[in-house]
Chain A
């Protein structure tokens, strides 16, 4: 086994699995499948990331070219756990419609609920998200809800029956990293269901810092797909997620603004 593989194996011994809605995952990284230059790069990148859960979108079949367009022509649903999203929906009604269509595909009851409220920032409409979450949870969906970094909304989403709450690090596709670590930490502290930070991670250090807040996982797409070398970035992210998680579990030293020598001050020569 390669050194890098060994690192990940070691991490497994030092950390428990990620459990969401009765499903168990070794990887704490969830990845999207959008915006890759080619399907071959996408598959290589996802495999390099070590992610087991991958998101997909529901769209009309293009009847002019049906053969290669569907992602299941490229992505084996036996190899990855498919998490369908409701991306692009601006109302609770639309999101519910998309979720039902996704479930009818017959893979699982999970849905990444996303109801957008603003086109420029793609920030969520939390009221519509809550409404859709209640309806879908009532229909037996395992709802993983994309939301902003608002604690009260996160609590309401948990109360609505979501199996995971997914606050953003920063806007979708922005690559700005985690802009409000305090709120992310507070959400994690206050919720019992897994907290997955969804959106905004730009590079490996962002992923690492996000995991250091103590959250259960990170969901990303653009950071991988829009990297110059998506496969290499996926390797980097895999390690960043593990590094951040283990650093969180290990408990960091207190930071201080004056130096403390690491070597003994006694025994110095005259």
Chain B
């Protein structure tokens, strides 16, 4: 795969090489994450759920995918 076809992003603190052209929604799907079950922070800003399909993932982006877990 040539450099042009992939980009490097950070997902939950880990660097990943992903295909160019992903939206947030398609990236979630490729990671097997249900968009309705997570909250996404893109470069420290919360991304509204209805914008997942509209926002492109770019080189160097930092994404945080969080959800609720057990806690007191």
Which residues of A line the B interface, CB within 8 A? 32-36, 42, 55-61, 63, 66-67, 69-73, 82, 84-85, 87, 100-102, 104-106, 172-173, 199, 219-222
B68 contacts which of A57, A66, A173, A222 (Cβ < 8 Å)? A57
Q: Decide yes or no whether B61 CB sits under 8 A from chain A.
A: no
- Number of contact residues on B: which range applies? 20 to 34
In the complex, A34→B71 CA distance in Å?
4
In the complex, what's the smallest C-beta–C-beta distance from B41 to chain A, in angstroms? 6
In chain B, residues 17-63, which have Cβ atoms closer than 8 Å to a Cβ of chain A? 31-34, 37-39, 41, 46, 48-49
In the complex, A61→B11 CA distance in Å?
10
Which residues of B line the A interface, CB within 8 A? 11-14, 31-34, 37-39, 41, 46, 48-49, 64-72
Q: Is B39 in contact with A105, judged by CB distance below 8 angstroms?
A: yes
In the complex, A66→B34 CA distance in Å?
9
Q: Is B68 in contact with A105, judged by CB distance below 8 angstroms?
A: yes
In the complex, A221→B37 CA distance in Å?
24
Taking CB atoms, residues of chain A closer than 8 Å to B34 are 66
Taking CB atoms, residues of chain B closer than 8 Å to A63 are 11-12, 14, 31, 33, 65
29 sampled A-B residue pairs with Cβ under 8 A: A35-B70, A36-B70, A55-B71, A56-B68, A57-B68, A57-B71, A58-B39, A58-B69, A60-B13, A60-B66, A61-B33, A63-B12, A63-B14, A69-B67, A70-B67, A70-B68, A70-B69, A72-B37, A72-B68, A73-B37, A85-B71, A85-B72, A87-B71, A101-B41, A101-B46, A101-B64, A173-B72, A219-B72, A221-B72
B66 contacts which of A36, A59, A173 (Cβ < 8 Å)? A59
